[in-house]
C-alpha cells in the first residue's frame, strides 16, 4: 500500500485518480483550494482520504499545503495534477502579482516539490499543448509580451515537463515523469473533448503506484512514451527554469 497526494483532486482527473488509488487499496491525500470547496466535495472523495487545503495560486498557501502534507507523514508519491486553463482573456494576477496560469501550473508544483518530504515518485501534469510552448523564462510572467492565454498555458505545460526532467536528473533515486492526459472532457477541456477521461487519470495512477512503472525522466500519454518539445531536455533550459522559480519563491530545489 502506498500513500499518495493528488493535488487538485476535488474534481476532474484528480478526483478520478484519487478514487482509483483508493479502490486499489492505497492511502490517498486529496487537496481542495478552500475550506468551502473541501466541504462541498467531501462526499465525492474516498471516505478514508486525508484532506489538505490551500489555494495554489498564492505562495503562502502553497507553503501551508506543504506543511499540512508533511504533518501527515512521508508520502510515497505525489501527483501534481492541479492546473488552470487558457481561457483567460487578460493577464489575471495572483496575490503575489504573478499570472495565475504560471503560479498554479508551474510555481506551485515547483514549490511543493522543494518543500514536501521527498517521495519515491513524482508525476507532473503536462499537455500535448506543451509542444507549442516557449522554453525561455526571460518573460515567463508576460510583462513584455501582449497576453495570449493559449500560449501562456502552452508555456506552463512545457515548463512542467522540463521540471519533471530536471527533478529526474537531480534526484536519480526518485522516479519523476510528466503526463499528457489528452484532451479530456473536464471542466477545463469542455464536454466535447474527444479523449478518454478514465485513461487520462489511469496513467497518473500507474506512474504513481504501478509496479512496472520504472521509468524516470519521460513523458507519457496513455501509458506510452511520447516525444517532447525539442528543448525540453536541454539541461541549461531546465536549470534556468528551476533557478527562476527559486528566485521567485526564495526556495531552492534541493
48 is catalytic: no
Distance CA 227, CA 194 (A): 21
Q: Which of 153, 159, 221, 244 is catalytic?
A: 153
Pinpoint the alpha helices (H) of 116-196. 149-170
Helix, strand and coil content of the chain, in percent to the nearest 5, comes to: 40, 15, 45
Identified catalytic residue from 86, 110, 124, 157? 157
- Residue 221 annotated in active site: no
CB 192 within 8 A of CB 138: no
Name the one residue in this structure whose C-alpha cell is 481561457.
87
User: What are 97-101's contacts with CB under 8 Å, separation 24+?
Assistant: 98/141, 98/248, 99/141, 99/142, 99/152, 100/57, 101/149, 101/152, 101/153, 101/156
Looking at the annotation, which residues are catalytic? 153, 157
Amino acid at each position: 500500500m502506498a500513500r499518495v497526494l493528488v493535488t487538485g483532486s476535488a474534481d476532474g482527473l484528480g478526483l478520478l485518480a484519487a478514487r482509483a488509488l483508493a479502490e486499489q487499496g492505497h492511502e490517498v491525500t486529496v487537496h481542495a483550494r478552500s475550506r468551502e470547496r473541501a466541504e462541498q466535495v467531501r462526499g465525492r472523495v474516498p471516505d478514508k482520504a486525508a484532506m489538505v487545503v490551500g489555494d495554489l495560486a498564492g505562495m503562502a498557501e502553497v507553503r501551508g499545503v506543504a506543511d499540512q502534507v508533511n504533518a501527515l507523514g512521508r508520502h510515497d508519491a505525489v501527483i501534481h495534477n492541479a492546473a488552470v486553463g487558457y481561457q483567460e482573456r487578460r493577464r489575471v494576477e495572483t496575490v503575489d502579482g504573478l499570472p495565475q496560469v504560471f503560479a498554479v501550473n508551474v510555481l506551485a508544483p515547483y514549490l511543493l516539490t522543494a518543500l514536501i518530504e521527498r517521495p519515491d515518485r513524482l508525476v507532473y501534469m503536462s499537455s500535448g499543448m506543451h509542444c507549442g510552448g516557449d522554453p525561455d523564462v526571460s518573460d515567463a510572467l508576460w510583462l513584455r509580451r501582449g497576453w495570449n492565454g493559449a500560449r501562456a498555458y502552452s508555456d506552463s505545460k512545457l515548463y512542467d515537463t522540463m521540471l519533471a526532467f530536471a527533478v529526474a536528473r537531480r534526484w536519480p533515486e526518485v522516479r519523476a515523469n510528466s503526463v499528457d492526459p489528452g484532451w479530456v472532457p473536464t471542466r477545463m477541456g469542455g464536454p466535447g473533448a474527444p479523449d478518454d477521461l478514465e485513461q487520462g487519470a489511469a496513467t497518473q495512477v500507474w506512474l504513481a503506484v504501478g509496479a512496472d512503472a520504472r521509468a524516470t525522466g519521460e513523458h507519457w500519454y496513455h501509458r506510452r512514451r511520447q516525444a517532447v518539445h525539442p528543448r525540453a531536455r536541454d539541461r541549461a533550459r531546465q536549470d534556468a527554469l528551476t533557478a527562476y522559480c527559486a528566485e521567485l519563491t526564495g526556495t531552492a530545489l534541493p
